Structures are given as C-alpha cells and as structure tokens.
Amino acid sequence: MSSQVKLNNEKIDRALLDSILLKRFFYVASFALYGGVAGLYDYGPLGCSLQANILELWRKHFVLEEDMMELDCAITTPHKVLETSGHVAKFADWMVKDTKTGDLFRADHVVEGFLEAKLEGDRLYRLQQGEAVEGAAPPAGDKKPRKKKNTVVHEPLTEEVKAEIEFILAQIDNYDGAGLGELIKKYNITSPEANNPLSEPVAFNLMFDTSIGPSGNLKGYLRPETAQGQFLNFKKLLEYSNEKLPFASAQIGRSFRNEISPRSGLLRVREFTMAEIEHFVDPDNKNHSRFDEVKDYKLRLLSAEQQLKGITEVTTIPIGEAVSSKLVDNETLGYFLVRIHKFLTKIGINPDRLRFRQHLNNEMAHYACDCWDAEIHTSYGWIECVGCADRSAYDLTVHAKATGQSLVVREALKEPLVYDQTKVEINEKAFGPALKKGAKPVRDYLLSLSESELEDLQKQFTDKLTVTGTDNQQYDITTDMVSIKRVTVKTNIREYVPSVIEPSFGIGRIFYSLIEHSFWSREGDEQRSVLSFPIGMAPIKCTLLPLSNNEVFNPFIKTIGRQLRDHGISTKTDDSSASIGRRYARNDEVGTPLAITIDFQTVQDNTVTLRERDSTKQIRQPVDVVVKIIKELVEESTTWEQVISQYPLFTQQEVSE
C-alpha cells in the first residue's frame, strides 16, 4: 500500500515462503491427517479471504463494469456433452509407467526433465574443465515447473547432440504419444529418481468420471472447465440480451483435472477455482465499442513469430498498434488483453513480471483458433495464469449438430441479401415411398450437412449413393429422390453462429503469483518477512494489539473491533504474550496493512496508535479518528502518504521492536 516499498523480489526464498504459508494457514495439503492427496489443497482463513478479495474485485471489474451475465452451472456433466465438446477424445495427457515400481508419470515432463538434465550435465562438465560456458546457469525462474528430479551426470555432449536436444525442448508440446515414445527409445530415457525402464506412452484422459443417478447407466464427468455450461445456455443468454450481440456471460466456479502426477504446489492441482468469460460476438465484426478507451494502453507482448525465431524478449506496444498491425487479431481480443492486464496489476501483480504470450499452433487447445496467455513470472518461471482464446464458433457448432437445435443469431437486414448457396432438395414423392422408415434418419442426416459437406457429397453422387442415416443404418439414395443444387437465395434475415472470445482465469495460480510478488524481507533481517498486499487484497485489514493481557484493555478491543466490523472491515486481535515488536512482525508476515495498539495511554485519553505495515510508521489519534482513517484507507479514498502528511508521526520508541 505504501509506494515507498519498491518490490524487487525476483529471487525469493521459496522454502521460507512455503513454511510461512503453511504455518500461518494460508493453505495446506488436503486430507493431511490421512497422508494427503497430491494436487488437492485446502485454503485456510487467510487464503480463503485473499481468494474472496480477488474474486470480489474480479466480479466488479468484469461482471459489473462490463455488464456481463453471471451463471452458476452444474459441475457433474453427462458424457454426451463432453463427448460433443471434444473433451472425451482430446482432453488427455500422455502417460508412461515405470515398469518396475509401477509409478506413473507425464511423458512430456519425463522427456523434458531427462533432456534438461543432459544439457545441465554438459554445462557442468565444461565448467569443471575450466571452459568458458556460454550463459550462466539458467535462472531457476526461467523454466516451466515441469522437471522431475533427474540425476545430473557431468558428461559432455557433442555440439550436434546439444543442438538436437535444444530443438526438441523448444517444441516439446508438439509431440504426440508416438513421438514421445520414440524419444524415450532414442535417448534411453528412464524413470526419474528410480532410473527404471519406461512403458510406451498411453493417453490418459484428465477428466474425473462418475455416474449420475442410481442405475449406473448415465456416465458423467466433473467439468474440466466452466465454459460448457455457458455454451449450453446460449439460447437463454441471447434471449436475456434482447436477441442482441455482442454479449458476455461469466462464471466463477470449481473445475477438475485429474492430473497424472501433480507437483508445483498450487500451480498444478486437481481441483481449482476458475473465472471464465464467454464473450459472444459477430464473426464478421469483432470490433469493440470501448476499444477507443484503451487503444493507447501499452502491453508487453511475445508473439508466436518471435518465439519461432527464438526471441524471448517482449515487445512493449500500445494495443491499438498491435491490433492495427494484426499482431493481435481483433479489437475485442485486444480490449480483453488490456482489461486482464488492468485487473492483474490492480490486485498487486508486478507489471514488470507480466507478459502476454501468443500460443504456437501446436499448443492450442482443440477448440481454439487463436490464443494469448497472460503469463506471470514466479520462482517457478513464467506461469500461464489467464488464457484469452478465440474459440471461434467451434462449441456452438458442435452442440447444435449433436442436439439438432439451432444455436444461431438471427439479425434483421436493412437491405436484403442475395447470394448463391449449395442446397439439398428432396423430392417427397419419390423419397418417402422409397426409404419408408429410413426417410426420417436420411432426411435428418442430409439436413445436418454443411455447405462444403454437401458439395463433397455431390461429387460422389452421379446416380446412386449409399449414405448413413442418423440412426447409423445405411440407405441408398438416387438422383430422382434427392438433388444437390447451387441455388440463388434472397433473404432479409442474416443467420450466423457467433464467435466466442474467452478470457479464462486460473484463480489459484493468480493467488499464488500474487503472494510471491508481495513477498519480501526487511533489510538486515532475513527473518522479518512481509507480504505487501494492496489493502483491498489483504486478508485482514487491521490487527488489534493490547499492550499486555491486562484486563483494562478488553473493553477497548471489543469496542474498536465492533466499530470496524460495522464498516465491514476484517480485524484480528493478537492478545498473545509476545512483545509488541514480535506481534508487529507476525502481522507483517500475513500481510495485514494496519495495526492498532491499545496501551495505558488509551485507557486515559482514548487515543491509540495506528501503524502501517510497509513504512512501519505510526500516528497516534483518538479512536474515532483512527477508525475513520482506516475506513478511508480501505475504501481507497485516501492513502497512507496522505494520512501521514495530515497527522503528526508518532515516534516514541516501540518497546522491543
């Protein structure tokens, strides 16, 4: 909160931070009493409050400010829905098994870890030989959090092998199971830690499955994203928006991903809170009405083209320029990148450690046609925290096709539209009598075909053709029953499937990154850790500290606590017997920006001291004044700098701080 604290904490002591987060109950491994389950975490009071503050701001910043329609959809999802969306077939990772221990690993992580260890072994070998090694050790922060422990053998590589390994690592996301299997054979890759032979990679679907209802017949999954619930409500959303585009829905909720072998704390988990926006827009006009307001806003971008050239330096340019040069595809995408940036920096993410990276073709999800990730730099490297994908019309199209429902926008045209179209025409007199029961499934099949599919069919359809009806039976059709023709159509209505721009926030990753960015230690005293959350994010706004456990302080604690609570301001009383200095330190450690101390002078004149976390400066004022100041600080209608310019500093030496 104080601008005097300039956070420059790229290298943090992660072990220290982890121990603080555990000790102070920000979060813990779930079911720890039973030995824990990898990838599952419980948030304690401080974590829960920090998460709630992030989500509250998210709701204000997006849902309220942009007039989005918030939804809260079911988590358990029937098989058919996720089969249609492509998740049953494609939402999978490649998995390998240690053939001796039976341990299971993500194949790409194993290959990556193994090859990185080779490079590191080479580097260390050369260092030992006294060679000038190019570049220092790669900073721990520059790798994705994927590596498993591999024994690093100090061994030289030929330049050729080294180049080959670097080439593989650069495009590791590009390998499928067979490709990863070949790499494992070629490099004799064994399991990390145990060094045993590995199985062939097999696909493992990442959805948790379950069955709905008592019969066991309705197979279902826990949703892997909140998006599908929003797509399925498209018709109601369109109706709620008076049939007008663009509009956006939003959803905050839990999603699930049955990770093969989760590591990296909160960054790779099996259950996570997401906040997703689905912005539905005319595919022919992705301009945004408020783009003008943001066009000069500068972002740090790393394009696909740059990455393919091996460039890792971001380009900082105004979003207006990025859109006009087509680096960012359209105004709506650009507008959301800015809104995401504003949100992240507002909660306290360091803008110097935030970038937008464009996806390479090979790493795009099965539904996406363009994607920029907001990546935040942490001690684990650059972490994808927000994806901003253009899912095009993919989802609505597949759901419409699977259910036979029309998921389109109908727009009245001022001028009628005239165009040519390939259409199927059915000669009812011949069609029905010839196909009998097959008439409906064949008709449904033919009418479900897109224009290009019809054109393909037409090519094979000279006289007679065998087709598969929607009942999966085969039928013969002839040209006297069915004709496929190019016809001229005139219409006053334009019908189209909207495109969807999807900003998708991983709240847990943002939560963790924010903690790292807020973490530092007071100079000269490594043990005095501070979490400098912005006041809006701080889990507790104010600590109440009685000088000792003398009972005369109790009424003050009670009254001040109530006054602050009545303003909706969260407080915590620390009446332990530790010294005031020690208690201030504990207060700083959990990121509480303000502390009120109640001492014997309070009993005499009803004044208290108010201390600010980052500057450690204090003022002394009557209780009512202090409560008013705190309220204004929390509402952000004043700053600590303004407060100390208005009220004299209280400089009496603190006891034992």
Binding positions for a second copy, 41-60, rule CB under 8 A: 41-45, 47-49, 51-52, 59-60
CA proximity to 634, closest of 581, 575, 553, 563 = 563
Q: Check binding of 636 to a second copy (CB under 8 A).
A: no
Candidates 126-134, 147-155, 401-409, 601-609; binding stretch for a second copy (CB under 8 A): 401-409
Q: Which is nearer to a second copy, 458 or 570 (CB)?
A: 570
Rounded CA-CA distance 17/14 in Å is 5
| Contact residue for a second copy among 212, 364, 424, 449 (CB under 8 A) | 212
Q: Check binding of 447 to a second copy (CB under 8 A).
A: no
Q: Check binding of 264 to a second copy (CB under 8 A).
A: no
| Contact residue for a second copy among 257, 399, 583, 611 (CB under 8 A) | 399
Query: Rule CB under 8 A: which of 564-583 touch a second copy?
Result: 565, 568, 570, 572, 575-576
Q: Check binding of 75 to a second copy (CB under 8 A).
A: yes
Q: Check binding of 15 to a second copy (CB under 8 A).
A: no
Q: How far is the CB of 99 from a second copy (least distance, A)?
A: 14
Pairing of strands 409-426, 464-468: unpaired
Element (H, E) at 212: strand 209-212
Rounded CA-CA distance 616/611 in Å is 6
CA proximity to 500, closest of 234, 222, 224, 226 = 234
Q: How far is the CB of 394 from a second copy (least distance, A)?
A: 16
| Contact residue for a second copy among 131, 209, 425, 456 (CB under 8 A) | 209
| Contact residue for a second copy among 91, 256, 505, 640 (CB under 8 A) | 256
**How far, in whole angstroms, is CA 650 from its chain's centroid?**
44
Q: Which is nearer to a second copy, 290 or 464 (CB)?
A: 290
Q: Check binding of 85 to a second copy (CB under 8 A).
A: no
Q: Check binding of 194 to a second copy (CB under 8 A).
A: no
Q: How far is the CB of 162 from a second copy (least distance, A)?
A: 33
Strand partners, 409: 496
CA proximity to 372, closest of 501, 206, 248 = 501
Q: Which is nearer to a second copy, 71 or 619 (CB)?
A: 71
Q: Which is nearer to a second copy, 125 or 204 (CB)?
A: 204
Rounded CA-CA distance 373/386 in Å is 6
Q: Check binding of 411 to a second copy (CB under 8 A).
A: no
Candidates 25-33, 327-335, 489-497, 624-632; binding stretch for a second copy (CB under 8 A): 25-33
Crossing angle between the packed helical segments 623-634 and 554-566, to the nearest 10 degrees = 30
Strand partners, 170: none
Q: Which is nearer to a second copy, 270 or 611 (CB)?
A: 270
Rounded CA-CA distance 525/2 in Å is 20
Q: Check binding of 261 to a second copy (CB under 8 A).
A: yes
Greatest Cα pair distance, the chain, in angstroms, is 104
Rounded CA-CA distance 80/219 in Å is 9
Query: CB of 540 within 8 A of CB of 416?
Result: no
Which tokens go with 477? 């059709």
Q: How far is the CB of 218 from a second copy (least distance, A)?
A: 7
Cα dihedral value 213, 216, 217, 219, nearest 10: 80
Candidates 65-73, 160-168, 307-315, 342-350; binding stretch for a second copy (CB under 8 A): 65-73
Candidates 141-149, 317-325, 402-410, 612-620; binding stretch for a second copy (CB under 8 A): 402-410
Coil, helix or strand at residue 590: coil
Query: Rule CB under 8 A: which of 91-120 touch a second copy?
Result: 95, 102, 104
For the four alpha carbons of 144, 150, 154 and 156, in that order, the dihedral sign comes to negative
Q: Which is nearer to a second copy, 70 or 329 (CB)?
A: 70
**Amino acid in position 467:** V
Considering CB under 8 A, how many residues would be counted as binding a second copy? 80
CA proximity to 169, closest of 132, 93, 118 = 118
Q: Which is nearer to a second copy, 156 or 561 (CB)?
A: 561
Q: Check binding of 557 to a second copy (CB under 8 A).
A: no
Q: Check binding of 153 to a second copy (CB under 8 A).
A: no
Q: Check binding of 145 to a second copy (CB under 8 A).
A: no
Q: Which is nearer to a second copy, 10 or 70 (CB)?
A: 70
Q: Check binding of 86 to a second copy (CB under 8 A).
A: no
Q: Check binding of 270 to a second copy (CB under 8 A).
A: yes
Question: What SS3 string covers 10-32?
Answer: CCCCHHHHHHHHHHCCCEEECCH
Q: Which is nearer to a second copy, 43 or 280 (CB)?
A: 43
Query: CB of 620 within 8 A of CB of 643?
Result: no
Q: How far is the CB of 467 from a second copy (least distance, A)?
A: 25
Q: Check binding of 458 to a second copy (CB under 8 A).
A: no
Edge-to-edge strand ranges of the sheet holding 618-622: 571-573, 542-546, 594-598, 607-612, 618-622
Q: How far is the CB of 408 from a second copy (least distance, A)?
A: 14
Pairing of strands 76-78, 27-29: unpaired
Query: Rule CB under 8 A: which of 296-355 touch a second copy?
Result: none
Q: From residue 198, give the alpha-carbon distance in Å to each of 109, 112, 201, 380.
A: 13, 14, 9, 27
CA proximity to 463, closest of 483, 444, 447 = 483
296: left (phi over 0), alpha (psi -120 to 50) or beta: alpha
Crossing angle between the packed helical segments 14-23 and 507-518, to the nearest 10 degrees = 110
Query: CB of 100 within 8 A of CB of 197?
Result: yes
Query: Rule CB under 8 A: which of 474-513 touch a second copy?
Result: none
Q: Which is nearer to a second copy, 259 or 321 (CB)?
A: 259
Q: Check binding of 71 to a second copy (CB under 8 A).
A: yes
Q: Check binding of 246 to a second copy (CB under 8 A).
A: no
Q: Which is nearer to a second copy, 32 or 127 (CB)?
A: 32
Rounded CA-CA distance 407/471 in Å is 23
| Contact residue for a second copy among 11, 186, 236, 437 (CB under 8 A) | 236
| Contact residue for a second copy among 1, 81, 408, 442 (CB under 8 A) | 81
Strand partners, 412: 493
| Contact residue for a second copy among 101, 324, 362, 405 (CB under 8 A) | 405
Q: Check binding of 254 to a second copy (CB under 8 A).
A: yes
